[in-house]
Structure 1
């Protein structure tokens, strides 16, 4: 039994079923239907009720408790403030940063959808990759509430492949993808007044003291951010207030949920595996992916190299050190690529390396078998058919298919 304005928080490493038996309740701002079973596996969730509810849970939990100290009323008030801007056609563009940003972004997005809006939901967090999986950057037109069981939008995203799980690995590439994505999205907004009015909800990358503020400024400028919400970090809030030089950008301090905790390395690896599995198989194996066999000679595999700075000692006398901006190198297929996640670039055939690096992608594949003797590889692909474009991108991410 949950009292009004309380939250039931639980954590589970196994399968678990949740049923709302009475009252009203929601997860991430998505309302639960009465007597409908919701199935979860390996999750950390919170169920909130405004008016009181009765829940039935089947399965084992590691942690479960009820809390009446919750930031949900504050999130709702923030939603109302954004909705007021939408009504005035001021196109709110909010950037969420800090611990709990993924949860807060889903809540704000779902509340907007429930008001009949279709905001752009943009995930720039390559470390967590909550909308697809780590190493990717994605944008959705959110016209339906986020799926409760999957915890991510169900629509097809505009997706870009970064290929790493840390923005410091290749800052230039990360910033160029941000700029390219923003350009594409604003062209879409200019053609759709309702979409422009609904605005943007943007998930910032994981904060890093070494590169965080530089990236933050870049995102604010590229996406013309109007509101920055800093969750659960007073020091970060104070620093952003001092350094923010963008007029018209409102910086807010927002509490994080008491149920939000930092994820350890083991949990992140498990979550990444679940996310990639969900991409290919959906929840409860609803999808049936295909195996595609490709000859080495028929594919052009590219890898975007990490940042490289030529040492001064290696330069001719009097020469200036130049940072090699973005280098795309050919990769010879080999057994080292086994279990690698690949991206199918939407880029047309070109000599422009940067165009290949920052192009959006059609989708993702996984190398399941390498046969050096026969010079061919087997890929797990989400749909049947030939590859429509020539370039395949590879990063540093691996996943083993246990199906």
Structure 2
């Protein structure tokens, strides 16, 4: 194993230390003196942080000294960062929040859009953290089914955030509401994605109508990379009045044109430069990050906030297991006079176990066994489990569950993702 050495960097005000770790090797950093922050979360001086293997930007407004381990491919100090623009954006949003608080009105609802690896989630995390540091409680919405703030891919989720994210494990204290999607990309089932976003939007609007502080604090929406028509569906679902576009002039013009054509007024479109520290991930790295997200849901963050999952056995006959989206039936195979249904929204039951189900993640739906199709598809989720094994003799399956308690529901929806537990 390569011996770790420690390097000290002295940052002037407005500079950013960008640390890029080798795959599966965490980086230890410590602020020796001064003040620094990681995506809007202030780092405690003298405390050592073990950061993940992704690029980590540590910024200082006033100057600081940072020590870090030397197991990195690169660690360099950047002069140009988008943090000043982010602070200006935060100040404008905070002004709207204060006006909303004084008038008991609606605070800003901002959605962040852009191409892959433009820093959308980083931007949302900074804005949410800065709002929390002003004692606001914004609702953080993540409709990116591939890289969700709240841990589990193939879903859309939202949660009020009451304090800044933990530097290592993120918004661990948030209590999100999840809705099932089942795919890691919007194009996996765009019709069902639109329905899931619409359902989440109604849930968020209901929360805003009953919580004065959340309403004044507003909403921050992290969007996936998707067509502009899908972005407009997201804008409508959450009634966003600010669209922040990262590093894509063409998308700015396209959204302006389509909003005008749709006669949607009162929406500001802002262009924000992306950080130079954003690193595109190869396919293997994307898959590894997806696995890590699932692992953290069940096992937490090692050496920081570990969890202890449990195995639960249940007869397969007691389950109602479904997949959203059925194969399209050719027109010439339909009965005379029959019309083709929206096969993307059909609920396909899985009545027999097959080895293809092993290791797959499934959503545990918060509904009764007697629930109808729409209730199953559009109910909020209780959590997630993984199908570990099948006992043919007993016709039972063993599930990896986050808690030893009895499952709150035995209505399951299948994800396209699987989880290889190597713990």
Same fold (TM over 0.5): yes
Report the CA distance between 1:362 and its aligned residue: 0.7
Q: Does 1:269 align with 2:287?
A: yes
Q: Contact conserved, 2:152 with 2:294, CA < 8 A, in 1?
A: yes
Q: CA-to-partner distance for each residue in 1:267-319, whole Å, 9 max, x for gaps? A: 1111111111111111116111111011112222111125x544444456776
What is the aligned partner in structure 1 of residue 5 from structure 2? none
Q: Distance in 2 between matches of 1:195 and 1:278?
A: 28
Report the secondary structure of 1:79's partner residue: helix
Match of 1:96 among 104, 108, 112: 112
Q: CA-to-partner distance for each residue in 1:61-102, whole Å, 9 max, x for gaps? A: 122211110000000100011111111114100000012110
Structure 1: unaligned runs, 5 residues or longer: none
- How does the TM-score come out when normalised to structure 2? 0.90
Please give the residue correspondences for 1:174-189 in structure 2 after superposition, counting only pairs within 5 Å.
174-189=193-208
Q: Distance in 2 between matches of 1:162 and 1:223?
A: 18
Q: Distance in 1 between matches of 2:152 and 2:71?
A: 26
Please give the residue correspondences for 1:108-187 in structure 2 after superposition, counting only pairs within 5 Å.
108-187=127-206
Report the secondary structure of 2:307's partner residue: coil
Q: Distance in 1 between matches of 2:34 and 2:16?
A: 13
What is the aligned partner in structure 2 of residue 214 from structure 1? 229
How many residue pairs end up in the alignment? 398
Please give the residue correspondences for 1:2-401 in structure 2 after superposition, counting only pairs within 5 Å.
2-12=11-21, 13=23, 14-89=25-100, 90-98=106-114, 99-207=118-226, 212-245=227-260, 246-284=264-302, 286-305=306-325, 309-315=328-334, 321-324=340-343, 326-331=345-350, 332-401=352-421
Report the CA distance between 1:152 and its aligned residue: 4.0
Report the CA distance between 1:352 and its aligned residue: 2.1
Q: Distance in 2 between matches of 1:247 and 1:393?
A: 38
Report the CA distance between 1:115 and its aligned residue: 0.2
Q: CA-to-partner distance for each residue in 1:84-125, whole Å, 9 max, x for gaps? A: 111111410000001211000000000000000000000000
Q: Distance in 2 between matches of 1:161 and 1:274?
A: 19
Q: Distance in 1 between matches of 2:70 and 2:27?
A: 5
Coordinate RMSD, CA, aligned:
1.7
* Further displaced range: 167-176 or 148-157: 148-157
